[in-house]
Structure 1
């Protein structure tokens, strides 16, 4: 079958992504109620009993809201690094010891034929990470909730066939928005979230002919709009001399209220 994925839902109110290869099915984050996660899974023809585990990026509620309930309901192993486990202990309730699994930052682990690589990102959480997934020659990287992309992040997601990448906010919409200044400063800072323009700048450095699609994820419902995000990211790329035709590369949307279609990397 090869590697495939669907972003079950993404935004400031909740995040979850499903990655599968015919042998293993893993969920990244569980930022919705258990009931809502079950609904999202059903929309993509999957049930919780088919999951082999949950990978956690960090402990903020929009990434772990339903984690404890889902893990207990389906007796699932949960994978996170040491500091993330400490930070989310009080939020997720009891998880059986055998399902409390350590996956250290920078560690690579094989889940059957699916290889997972964790990498550090910059965000105001205990020990936040992104993940890259490998199946044969296929590579998918999922990287949201980062204030800026370090050289190590760029190296970790380089040579991906498909990216799920944050485009959180339009800077002017954020500055003019209703959030108090301390929250705005947090979002705009190096431990906050990527703006549309910053995402475009990063994309211009990653375009090497292999990357075929980038899904713009974790959009703020207050300070961004999908059409604006796509236009701003593309404009930022073009400002840096990175031009492309739609047949060669695509920017795609994710949604706060529904899953994306399954994307099968072997069909690239």
Structure 2
């Protein structure tokens, strides 16, 4: 299985996951042109995608959905609440109703050689999910846009070979920054985003000997720095006395908002 990020951040998100026979795109929050260019870097095309998995309807996850769906007619998979919200977004233009496929949290579905497991996350959207994707040899997950984690999320991130995990903000930068009070409270709340510290705590609970790579994703442009996210997450893992792992025991990189990540092959 291979795994790469075309864009990840508060300004747009698009991830590609697949194996030799089936690939899927997770979110289309950037332009169709950027998505295609990102795919091309690793000799894929948008038309190669067996499905487009939507986490939720916020614009940084769906702004390119209309263009991609009209040009390539890729099936779109999302929860019923997310689909209703997308259909109400005039900015996306017309999307063929036959492309939408309703999924349910915690119910598996299959696309080609991939088994896909959506699981519920806490975010201020209609019915948001994260995704665990596996074939007969490996498992990966994309988990961003959550205000907190619980046992169900820990369980869904356990036993993975690779993941993209949110490390959205540094708490101090957010608290002293220019955002209005209500927006700060939203981000810090149970339906907001994971801080660097909380991301590190979650990661320390799900590390295992088989993890090949961890991407840190969905970084805030205003309230985080890539190096800060990287060092904070590593430190949280190292300081956690309940895990045998240290921050230097696994490969970790920050997924960029503007550049395609390395290709992780599992």
TM-score by length of 1: 0.94
- Please say if residues 146 and 190 of structure 2, whose CA atoms lie closer than 8 Å, have aligned partners that are also in contact: yes
How far apart, CA to CA, are the structure 2 residues paired with 1:227 and 1:53? Answer: 33
Equivalent residue, structure 2, for 1:127:
127
Equivalent residue, structure 1, for 2:59:
61
Say if 1:94 and 1:220 are closer, same or farther in 2 by CA, change over 3 A: same
Extract unaligned runs of 5+ from structure 2.
Answer: none
Runs of 4+ in 1 over 3 A off after TM superposition: none
Report matched runs for 1:119-268 at 5 Å.
119-241=119-241, 242=243, 243-244=245-246, 246=248, 248-265=249-266
SS of alignment partner, residue 183 of structure 2: helix
How far apart, CA to CA, are the structure 1 residues paired with 2:111 and 2:206? Answer: 27
SS of alignment partner, residue 178 of structure 2: coil
How far apart, CA to CA, are the structure 2 residues paired with 1:257 and 1:86? Answer: 29
May I ask how many residue pairs the two structures share in their alignment? 262
SS of alignment partner, residue 88 of structure 2: helix
How far apart, CA to CA, are the structure 1 residues paired with 2:7 and 2:247? Answer: 27
Equivalent residue, structure 1, for 2:109:
109
How far apart, CA to CA, are the structure 2 residues paired with 1:137 and 1:43? Answer: 25
How far apart, CA to CA, are the structure 1 residues paired with 2:212 and 2:96? Answer: 40
How far apart, CA to CA, are the structure 2 residues paired with 1:207 and 1:262? Answer: 20
1:189-227 alpha-carbon deviations (Å, 9 max, x no partner):
111000000011111111232333211000011111111
Equivalent residue, structure 2, for 1:17:
15
Single out whichever of 192-201 and 236-245 deviates more from structure 2.
236-245
How far apart, CA to CA, are the structure 2 residues paired with 1:208 and 1:145? Answer: 23
Equivalent residue, structure 1, for 2:86:
88
- Please say if residues 204 and 237 of structure 1, whose CA atoms lie closer than 8 Å, have aligned partners that are also in contact: yes
- RMSD after superposition: 1.3
1:3-29 alpha-carbon deviations (Å, 9 max, x no partner):
111111100000000111111111000
CA positional deviation for 1:82: 0.3
- Please say if residues 197 and 236 of structure 1, whose CA atoms lie closer than 8 Å, have aligned partners that are also in contact: yes
- Please say if residues 44 and 259 of structure 1, whose CA atoms lie closer than 8 Å, have aligned partners that are also in contact: no
Equivalent residue, structure 1, for 2:2:
4
CA positional deviation for 1:68: 1.0
CA positional deviation for 1:245: 6.7
Extract unaligned runs of 5+ from structure 1.
Answer: none
CA positional deviation for 1:45: 2.1
Say if 1:245 and 1:155 are closer, same or farther in 2 by CA, change over 3 A: closer
- Please say if residues 238 and 247 of structure 2, whose CA atoms lie closer than 8 Å, have aligned partners that are also in contact: no
